[in-house]
Amino acid sequence: MAALAARAERWPLAAAFVIARGSKTEAEVVVAEIADGPHRGRGEAVPYARYGETVEGVLDQIEGVRRIVEAGAGRGELQALLPPGAARNALDCALWDLEAKRAGVRAWTLAGRARLDPVKTCFTISLGPPGEMAEAARANARRPMLKLKIGGADDLGAVAAVHAAAPRARLIVDANEALSFDELRRLAPELARLEVKLLEQPLAAAEDAALEGYESAVPLCADESLHTRAELAACARRYGLVNIKLDKTGGLTEALALAAEARAMGLGLMVGCMVATSLAMAPALILAQGAAFVDLDGPLLLTRDREPGLTITGSVIEPPSPDLWG
């Protein structure tokens, strides 16, 4: 019989992480471990207040399914035991890791991939005054892609300052639901002029029906509006791309199914993350294969990462070692 353990951890950030909804100085994560004889599977997730989650609530959810998981419930059964979210993500990724170690193969083999290639991640510039954002961009100007948060007093000035400070970097802009439709219509042509490649979640998720029929000068990507396949049809009418995060889908199992269906509908893929350690990023690397945009920079924002962590050279993330995950 397997043994399940779950715990909360705090990981300090190198600098405050600021978005339109607020800021934080540490990553609060939940780690689930499932041990079975000599094998141990781990998964890491981030309880997210935007979706009504707390660390205590996620730990309670995991505790609520302890006996079923310890009795041998697999990833398939887990989808019906818990709703999408951080608790299911931690357990689902732990089960993937455990299954790979039991079988003596890598997790990407279980997912039907012959190999896992390195990916290039963007690097996030927190919301702040344009001068501060430009300074952060200048320090990271050699990175191939920067993602900047907006929702402040001078969004256009901030984007222009970042573009000037890092002219060779491709730019993604993330509004985190901070814009009105009128603001979007005014801002989008200016963002296109500044060569922004993608605009994430401009409107509140509850208000994005306004995007149906709107032709944006910059490609739009759903984030907060998309969690699982249940929202995909609506997103396909409003966006050209979707940002898939394991903490929203409730794990790699649903994320892979969501990605396949999104591709079949002609949507572009972005693979994103919450701020967390390499253990949370590792499963997402399977999902990120072939994605148009990758945002798995969580470990780069921490003062320290777990050991062993992912090998990240500049913005290139190598496949994880089995000691980390999968």
The catalytic residue positions are: 149, 245
Spatial separation of the C-alpha atoms in residues 116 and 15, rounded to whole Å: 31
Q: What are 93's two structure tokens?
A: 């990724």
**DSSP state, 173?**
E
**Hey, how many other C-beta atoms are within 10 angstroms of the C-beta on 259?**
23
Short-list 271, 295, 250, 322, CA closest to 45: 250
Spatial separation of the C-alpha atoms in residues 242 and 225, rounded to whole Å: 9
What residues pair up with 282 in beta bridges, in sequence order? none
DSSP structure string for 214-283: ---SS-EEESTT-SSGGGHHHHHTT-SEEEE-HHHHTSHHHHHHHHHHHHHTT-EEEE---S--HHHHHH
**Nearby residues of 102 by Cβ (< 8 Å), 6 or more positions away:** 36, 39
Spatial separation of the C-alpha atoms in residues 160 and 158, rounded to whole Å: 5
User: Contact at 8 Å (CB) between 2 and 35?
Assistant: yes
User: Contact at 8 Å (CB) between 91 and 65?
Assistant: yes
C-alpha 45 chain-centroid distance = 10
Spatial separation of the C-alpha atoms in residues 128 and 264, rounded to whole Å: 38
Spatial separation of the C-alpha atoms in residues 325 and 310, rounded to whole Å: 10
Spatial separation of the C-alpha atoms in residues 84 and 27, rounded to whole Å: 20
Spatial separation of the C-alpha atoms in residues 69 and 65, rounded to whole Å: 6
Query: What SS3 state is found at 151?
Result: coil
